Structure 1
Amino acid sequence: MKPQSLEMITRLVGFDTVSRNSNLELIHYVRDYLATHGVQSHLVASPDGAKANLFATVGPQVEGGVVLSGHTDVVPVDGQPWTTDPFTVTEKDGRLYGRGTCDMKAFTAVGLAMVPDFIARGLKRPIHFALSYDEEIGCFGAPSMIDRLVSDIPKPSAVIVGEPTSMRSIVAHKGIAVLRTTVIGHEAHSSQVQRGVSAVMTAARLVAFIEDMMAENKANADPGCTFVPPYTTLHVGVMQGGTAVNIISRACTFSWDIRTLPGDDWHTYLTRFQAFANTLLPAMQAISPQASITTEVLADAPPLQDQGGEAQELVFDLCGHRHTDVVPYAAEAGQFQERGFDVVLCGPGSIDQAHQPDEYIDIEQVSACEQFMEKLADRLAN
C-alpha cells in the first residue's frame, strides 16, 4: 500500500458523512485537492443544498474514457460496539479499521491519490470521477449527477462502480424499492373489540401477506439462478403502532423493501399488496369511515442486468481473470445502466465487513486496487 493511498483513505474516513449529515466538507476537500492539480470539479447540489455530488475529469475531453464512481455517505455507527474510533483510520494486523474503509471510501481514495500519476502519464482518454451522496438510504443522489454526466462529458466507454467486491467483476445486482405503509384504525377499549378497528392487527395481516408473497417466490425460485437468495425478497424492517395494551390501536406504520431480481418488477408486488389491502377496508370502514391503508414509495433503484459489454471486458483485463459474480444488494450501477452507460461493479474490500462494527479493509485489497488503477492508467495512456 502506497503512503499516499493511506493518507487519502485517512482523510476521507475522517469526514463523518453518515447519511443524516452533510457531505459538503468531504466534497469541498476533494474539490480543493483536485484544483491543486489543475483539475476542475463540478458540483451538483441536493435540492436543499445540504449535500452535493461531484464529478471531475482528469485528461482530455474525449470519448472512450472511464468513470470511477463511488458514494461518499456511510451508514451510522450508533449502538455498534466499536473498539476503535470509527472516524479515525486504525491500522492493525494487516487491516485498516474505520467506517467507510470498506464501503466504500478506499476505492475513491486510491483513485484520488493517483491523480498526480494519472496526469503525469499523459492520458489519451480521460478518467472521470463521479462521487455521490445518499446512496446508503436509497440511491437518491446519483440520478442528478448522472444527468449531468450524460449532458456534460464525452461518452465514456465504461463506468466502474467501486463497491466492495474483493476486486471481482460483479455483472448484476438486485434492485430495491423502499415503501412505508400507514394503517389508520379506530380507538376503543380493548374489551370492546366490536367498536374499534385495530391498526396494529390490520398491519399484522398486511405484513403476513408480504411474507406470503416472498414465500411464493422462494417456492418457485429458478434453481439455476446465481443470486443468493435466488428470488425477489420482501422484508418488513420497522413497525410502530399502538399506545397501550388495553387500547385498540388507532395507527400503525411499517416500512418494507422489495429487492427485485433483474427482470422482475416491484410494482407487481405493490399492486397485489394494494389489492389485498382493499379487501380489508370494507370491514374497517363499516366501523369507522375514516379508517384507511396508504402506502408511499420512499426509494426506487433499478437492478443491474448482465449485458456483457466493454466495461466487463475492461475489468477482466485489469483484474487478469474472467470470473464474474452477482450480488443481492442494490447499488447505483443500475441507475447508470438505465441511462445507457456500460457499467460493472469492482472495488476493494468485502461486503461481509460493510455496515459492521469495526468495519475494515485488508491492506492487500488496497494494494490490489492500486495495481488495478495503474493498469487502467496504462491502458488509457496508450
Structure 2
Amino acid sequence: MNVVVSLDKYNGAAALEFSSPNTTNIIFPFRNSSSQNLTMEELEIIDQNDRNFKIYIIFAVLSTVANICLLVTTLRKKRKTKLDNFFAGFSLGSTLLGIAYTSDYARMITYQTSDDTILKGYCIVIAIHPTFYAVGDVFISGATLIMAFESVLALQNNQQGSHLKAWLLNKFPLIYYTTVSVVDVSLCWTDILVNNEPIPIACYYELVVSQTYFNIHLAYTGTVGFLGVLIFVAWLLYMPISRSSHQSVRAVQTRRNWEIVRKVIMLIALNFSVQNLPATYRVFSTIFLGSTVIPFAVWLMQPIGFFLTAIIRLIELSKIRTKLQKVLPLKFKKSVTPSRLP
C-alpha cells in the first residue's frame, strides 16, 4: 500500500511516505477524524497509527521503569565495580530514550487529528523528546565504546598502562558524556531554530529536526557503536595468554577474563541490534535508496532491547539471584568479581 500525502492537500498537514503495510503510516493533522473529507484508507491509517503508537508506548514505559530500577540498584551498591559504572551510563541513556519515546508517541496520539500548528522552536520547550533523544543516544552509543575500552584494559596486567587505565576509567566517561551531549543538543536546538517553521502541534520528531541533522546524529552514534564492537572483537581475537607460572592463578585469571567477556558481549550484542542496526538502516536507505522509511518493527526493537538489557542485568545482580532462587527452581552460575581477583 503506497500512501503519499502532500502538504498542500491538507493545508499544511504533515505526512510521511510509506510503501509497506508493516510500516507506520503517519498522516496528521486532520481537521477532525470524522470529517467527510477523509477516505476509508485514511481512516484505516489513523487506526493503524493509534495501535502502533500505543504498542510503542507500552514497551517504552516498561523500558523506562526497568532501567530506572537498574540505575538505582547500581548506584546503591556499596561496592561497585567499574562495570557497574558503565551499566549505570547505559541505563541512564535507556531511561532518557524511554521517556522520549513515551513523550513523542503520546503527543502523536493526542494530536493526531488536530489541525493546530506551532513553530518548531516551541517544541524545544513544550516537548522533551527532541532533547532526550539527543542525550539518550549519546549515552547508549558511548556506553558501548567505553565498555569496550574497559574490557580491553581489564584483561591486561595491572601494571600495564596504569596511568592510561586510571584516566580512561575515571575521567574519560564523564568527559565524553558531557562534551558530546552538549555538542549534540546544541546542534539539535540550532537546527530547530534555524529552520523555525510551522509544524503540527504534535511535534513529531522527524518534523521537528531536519533530515540533515537526523542523519548526522544517527551516523555518529552508529559509528561510535560499531567502533566499540570492533574494538571488543579485535581484542577477543588477540586476547593475551596469562603468563603466570602457577596453574591455579592462571585458572582464576581465565575465569575472570571470560566473566568480563560474557557480560560485555551481552550488552554489546543487544545494543548493536537495537540501536546500531536501525540507525545504519536509516542512514543507508536515505543515502542510497532515497527513502527515509523504517518499518515500525525495526524501531520497536529499541525499547524492547533496552528493556531486556535492564532485566538481564538485574537478574545477574546477586540480590535478585538470591530471591529468584528462593522462588523459582533456577540455578545461576556464581559471578566472579574482577576487582577481587589477582
Higher relative contact order (CA 8 A, sep 6+): 1
Q: TM-score range by the shorter chain?
A: under 0.3
More strand by share: 1
TM-score by length of 2: 0.27
TM-score by length of 1: 0.25
